[in-house]
Structure 1
Amino acid sequence: MSVLSEFAKALAALTPAPPSTSWEYDGLQYRWKNFVFRPALFKREAFLFAVVLIYIVWYFVGKSVNKRRAEAWLNAHYALLKQQFSKPSAAGGLIPDGHAEFFNFSTGRRNIESLHSVFTLLPRHDGLKMLYQFFWGLADMTVTSEDEIELDFKLHPSTSVPGFVWAAVSKECLRTIKQNRWDLTLTRTTESPLLSGGYCVMSEYADVTEALLKSGSLNIGAALNDPAVRPYVKSLTITDQPRERPSQPIPADQRERHVILTLRAPPVSQSDATLPLVKSVFSFIDALEAGKFSLRPETRTKLRKTREELDGQIRKDAEAERKEEEEQDKAAARKKAEEERISKLSAAEQQKELERERKRQLRKAQGKVIKK
Structure 2
Amino acid sequence: MAALLNNLFGGSKPAASPIPAGDSDFADFAEAPDPSPTPFSAIPSAASFGGLGAFPTGAAVPYTKWYNIHERYSLTDFKQEGVILGLIVIIVAIHLFGTSINRKKSKSWINAHASVLKKEFALVGFGGRGPSAEDVEGDGLAKSLANDKPEELLKEKSLQEYSTYATGRQNVAFVDVNLTLLKRYSPLSLVAEFALSLFFDSVSAPVERLEATLYPFDGREALTVPGQLPGAPELRKDKSGYDGFVWAVVNKETMKQLRDDRYDVSITSTKDHPKLPNWATIMTESAEITDFLLTPELIKAIEEAGELLEHLIITDQPIDQPQKLDDTIPKKRLHLSYRLPSSGDYSKLLPIFEYFLRVTDILVQGAHFRPEVLRKVKATREETVKKLQKADDDEKAEERQLEREKAKKLKRDLELKGLDAKAQKKYLEKEKEREMKKMQKKQTQRG
**Shared fold (TM-score, shorter chain, > 0.5):** yes
Equivalent positions of 1:304-315 (< 5 A) are: 304-315=378-389
**Matching residue of 2:174:** 114
Whether the 8 Å contact between 1:80 and 1:279 is mirrored in structure 2 is yes
Does residue 41 of the first structure (1) align with residue 77 of the second (2)?
Answer: yes
**Matching residue of 1:139:** 199
**Matching residue of 2:279:** 198
C-alpha distance 34-286 of structure 1, shift in aligned 2 (>3 A): same
Whether the 8 Å contact between 2:312 and 2:337 is mirrored in structure 1 is yes
Per-residue displacement from partner, 1:55-89 (whole Å, max 9, x unpaired)? 22211211221122112111211111111101111
- Structure 2: which 5+ runs fail to align? 1-66, 128-147, 220-239, 403-447
- 1:157 alignment partner, one of 218, 223, 236: 218
Whether the 8 Å contact between 2:251 and 2:307 is mirrored in structure 1 is no
Whether the 8 Å contact between 1:211 and 1:294 is mirrored in structure 2 is no
**Matching residue of 2:267:** 186
SS at match of 2:331: coil
- 1:233 alignment partner, one of 302, 306, 309: 309
Q: Which amino acid aligns with 1:183?
A: D
**Matching residue of 1:102:** 162
C-alpha distance 320-51 of structure 1, shift in aligned 2 (>3 A): farther
SS at match of 1:40: helix
Equivalent positions of 1:1-372 (< 5 A) are: 33=69, 36-89=72-125, 91=148, 92=150, 93-140=153-200, 143-158=204-219, 159-213=240-294, 215=295, 219-226=297-304, 229-250=305-326, 255-267=330-342, 269-291=344-366, 293-317=367-391
SS at match of 2:190: helix
Please report how far the alpha carbon of residue 139 of structure 1 lies from its aligned counterpart in structure 2 after TM superposition.
Answer: 2.6
Q: Which amino acid aligns with 2:281?
A: C
SS at match of 2:168: strand
TM-score (norm: length of structure 1):
0.70
- Structure 1: which 5+ runs fail to align? 1-30, 329-372
SS at match of 2:346: helix
Please report how far the alpha carbon of residue 309 of structure 1 lies from its aligned counterpart in structure 2 after TM superposition.
Answer: 2.0
C-alpha distance 321-270 of structure 1, shift in aligned 2 (>3 A): farther
Q: How many residues align?
A: 296
Q: Distance in 1 between matches of 2:344 and 2:208?
A: 15
Q: Distance in 2 between matches of 1:45 and 1:69?
A: 36
C-alpha distance 310-37 of structure 1, shift in aligned 2 (>3 A): farther
Whether the 8 Å contact between 1:183 and 1:242 is mirrored in structure 2 is yes
Q: Distance in 2 between matches of 1:129 and 1:267?
A: 20
Please report how far the alpha carbon of residue 104 of structure 1 lies from its aligned counterpart in structure 2 after TM superposition.
Answer: 0.7
Say what the alpha-carbon RMSD is for the aligned residues: 3.3
**Who wins on radius of gyration, i.e. which is larger?**
2
Q: Which amino acid aligns with 1:311?
A: V
Identity of aligned residues (%): 26
**Matching residue of 1:335:** none
Whether the 8 Å contact between 1:77 and 1:272 is mirrored in structure 2 is no
C-alpha distance 204-37 of structure 1, shift in aligned 2 (>3 A): farther
Please report how far the alpha carbon of residue 107 of structure 1 lies from its aligned counterpart in structure 2 after TM superposition.
Answer: 0.4
* Poorly superposed stretches of 4+, deviation over 6 Å: 321-328
TM-score (norm: length of structure 2):
0.59
113-122 or 261-270: bigger deviation: 261-270
Q: Distance in 1 between matches of 2:180 and 2:372?
A: 40
Question: With CA pairs under 8 Å and 6+ residues apart, which has the higher RCO, 1 or 2?
Answer: 1
Q: Distance in 1 between matches of 2:71 and 2:159?
A: 43
